[in-house]
Amino acid sequence: MIIRRNKKLEDVISEWLLFKKLSLKESTFFRYKYITEKYILSNFKNKRLNHLINYDFNDFISCLSKDLSTRTIYSIVTVLKGILKYIEEKYNYKYNINLISIPKNNSKSKEAKSLDIEEVERLKSHCLNSLDCKEIGIAMSLLTGIRLGELCALKWKNIDLNSNVIYIEENLQRVYMGKSQTKVIEDTPKTQNSIRLVPIPQKLLSALKDISCDNNFNDNDYFLTGSQKYTEPRSYQYFFKKCLKMCEIKNCNFHILRHSFATNCIRLGMDVKSLSVVLGHSNVQMTLNRYVHPSFETQKKFLDQL
């Protein structure tokens, strides 16, 4: 028989985090911990389990959605449902978890943009003609869609210049540990599909061969630094923004390179399934929803063919 105990929510959340820690990747665990501290505990401080029986969690979610993206709201709802399910199973409280939903109309949910063709060519030309691995890394993301954390974790042993492929198997990121403390961790990528082989485009291959011939890199050297010391994503973001300024391109986030890569692949006729595999997505729908943004010119071209 399950005993109902009217504990404080913050105590139960601590229990739940310890329980989840056994099965989660380190980066995922710290992300869950950050979400509970920043969004859930800050709104339900000192609340006991019985106080939440008739609570409308959709009101809580709706208030958050005014200032947060749909993606962040989705993460909060995932964590919240996990906590409530744990309470139901252990303490026999019922919270109507299935009624909790994500608002469809989110003012902060904006379609990500991509660089235009002229900007892509300007940035690509600048980076591929460089002898700096950090600048070549920007071109690598632009030409392969590799994520920022994956690029920061990439080592020379993962680049096969004979088979012309990049093997992506690690991800590097800074995570929140609580009490304003953070740390950098290196772990496997987001999902099993993210561990993948990516073909090296010919222009990128030439640049990689040139720079590898001029340097004596070891297999365990990080690609971006050419040494055993990594560059963390935040620092590389700053470098990327400086590079944008040099190329007279508007200030934007590093992730725009991945969007631009996907958009250009579709523009050139690549099928979505192949693109999904290259990007490391678990399904084609994710690729379509997040990264494929056909231009007006592309739409007009196909309509004109009618």
Give me the residue spans of the domains in the chain. Answer: 9-99, 117-304
Between CA 151 and CA 138 the distance in angstroms is: 9
| pLDDT at 109 (0 to 100) | 45
Between CA 201 and CA 140 the distance in angstroms is: 9
Output the six-digit token pair for 176.
């929140």
Between CA 121 and CA 125 the distance in angstroms is: 6
Between CA 173 and CA 150 the distance in angstroms is: 9
Q: Are 63 and 24 in contact (CB under 8 A)?
A: no
| pLDDT at 16 (0 to 100) | 96
pTM score:
0.81
Cβ neighbours of residue 304 closer than 8 Å, sequence gap 6 or more: none
Among candidate residues 115, 141, 145, the one with its CA nearest the CA of residue 281: 145
| pLDDT at 287 (0 to 100) | 81
Look-up of token digits 């820690």: 21
Q: Are 76 and 59 in contact (CB under 8 A)?
A: no
Q: Are 149 and 280 in contact (CB under 8 A)?
A: no
Q: Are 260 and 120 in contact (CB under 8 A)?
A: yes
pLDDT tens, residue order, the chain (306 aa)? 455 678 899 999 999 999 999 898 888 999 999 999 999 998 888 899 988 888 889 999 988 888 888 889 999 999 999 999 999 999 989 888 888 888 765 544 454 578 999 999 999 999 999 999 999 999 999 999 999 999 999 999 999 999 999 999 999 998 877 777 888 889 888 778 889 999 999 999 999 999 998 888 999 999 999 999 999 999 999 999 999 999 999 999 999 999 999 988 888 888 888 889 898 887 888 787 776 666 666 677 767 776
Beta bridge partners of 174: 184
Output the six-digit token pair for 60.
């809580």
| pLDDT at 108 (0 to 100) | 46
Find the helix or strand (DSSP H, E) in which 159 lies.
strand 159-160
CATH topology of domain 117-304: hpI Integrase; Chain A (1.10.443)
| pLDDT at 1 (0 to 100) | 45
Q: Domain 9-99: which CATH class?
A: mainly alpha
In this structure, the strands spanning 165-168 and 171-178 are unpaired
Q: Where are the alpha helices (DSSP H) in the chain?
A: 9-21, 26-35, 57-65, 70-91, 117-128, 133-144, 148-153, 202-213, 233-246, 256-267, 272-279, 284-291, 296-304
| pLDDT at 146 (0 to 100) | 95
Q: Are 170 and 179 in contact (CB under 8 A)?
A: no
Domains 9-99 and 117-304 share a fold: no
